[in-house]
Amino acid sequence: MKIRLCAFADEGGTTVEEQIEALRANGIKLVELRSIDGKNISKISEDEAAVYAKKFREAGIEVWSLGSPLAKVHIYTPVEKEKAKAMHLCRLASVFGTKNIRAFSYFTLFPFNKEKRVVEKIQPLLEILDYNGINFCHENDTLLYGGRAKYLEKLLAAFPGLKTIYDPANFIISGESPDVTLAEFAPSAYYFHIKDATGKKVMPAGYGDARIDELIKRIDRDTVFSIEPHLMFFKGGAGFEKYDFKTKRGRFDCAADSIKKLLAENGWAEKDGYYEKNEG
């Protein structure tokens, strides 16, 4: 079995060159593109994408997914705006050579009676991505409809083939039990966002309550771990002296090292850009 490491490289650097350097220095060969040169991925042009794609390709880095903000808007946002965004993202995905777009399920303060509206708003976006051969990869982000377990269950019942990203920290921040989410959603996840949390505070992998070590133990197939540091408010402490948490790069390196440490402790050996399970 293999776990390929990926990362939101915009947390390692702003420019494309800084992002490539952060990835290469940490032995990561996949990238989830959220912003480049300070511009959100949904806002760049196809010509800009072609330039960036060439740079990543020449550096030996594959674009795994577009970390887009698709459907990360209020439920009452006109769906035509999101459809236009979806079509543009599909064109960008073609330029970058990826089949994956990270997406969401709309902000709503009162989700208990919004299932029908959410389904109606997601359906046309799914159809656009599907028509273009692209995966709608749903993230369980906080404050969005599919951020809580019971509503994510409803979403998956409405869209049985929906590909999901399991983000353990987001579930903790949303007040969900890792015992429940690990059993219910991790086994069918398409890939994983790697960050940890205690209460509302994001932590390096293995230092929060999301039980990422248990998640690793449950991996029984080839998959991707996409590192999303989010350590802007983490101050470090004993054992973290080597990292400068005032810099993007310091926080990025800490996040990468933390998941690598957990993988090694759970019997996964680092290879060239991926981890392989030690069966002996």
Q: What structural domains and CATH numbers belong to the chain? A: 2-277 (3.20.20.150)
pLDDT of residue 280: 55
Provide the percentage of residues in the chain whose pLDDT is more than 90.
94
pLDDT of residue 15: 98
Q: What is the 3-state secondary structure (H, E, C) of the chain?
A: CEEEEEECHHHCCCCHHHHHHHHHHCCCCEEEECEECCEEHHHCCHHHHHHHHHHHHHCCCEEEEEEEEECCCECCCCHHHHHHHHHHHHHHHHHHCCCEEEECCCECCCHHHCHHHHHHHHHHHHHHHHHCCCEEEEECCCCEHHHCHHHHHHHHHHCCCCEEEECHHHHHHCCCCHHHHHHHCHHHCCEEEECEEECCEEECCCCCCCCHHHHHHHCCCCEEEEECCCCCCCCCCCCCCCCCCCCHHHHHHHHHHHHHHHHHHCCEEECCCEEEECCC
Provide the percentage of residues in the chain whose pLDDT is more than 70.
99
Using pLDDT thresholds of 50, 70 and 90, give the confidence band for residue 272.
confident
pLDDT of residue 220: 94
**Residue 175 pLDDT > 70:** yes
What's the mean per-residue pLDDT of the chain?
96
pLDDT of residue 112: 85
Average pLDDT estimate for 124-152: 97
Strand partners for 40? 35
Strand partners for 270? 275
Instruction: Determine if the pTM surpasses 0.95.
Output: yes
